Amino acid sequence: MLNDEEITAISIRDRFLGKLESHYTIIGVLKEYNRKLEILVGSEYTKGTAERYRTNYPAIIYLSERGQLD
């Protein structure tokens, strides 16, 4: 019912029952985690920790594109 979704009895029922679909990908989750981690560098995380996560990001994309993260 957001973003020009079609409003149907089924969509209303599913929203009411909390059955909305959420699609998460490992890439999306890692990207969001890295973004939040960067904000916390200096208070909760070190620069080294952030760098290790940034370094691993391309490797995760590489493996994901080749279907090796199943």
Tell me if residue 41 falls in helix, strand or coil.
strand
Look at the pTM and tell me if it is higher than 0.95: no
CA neighbours within 13 Å on the CB side: how many for 45? 16
Q: For residue range 48-66, what is the model confidence (pLDDT) as tens digits?
A: 999 999 999 899 889 888 8
Map out the domains of the chain as residue ranges: 23-70
**What stretches in the chain show pLDDT beneath 70?**
1-3, 70
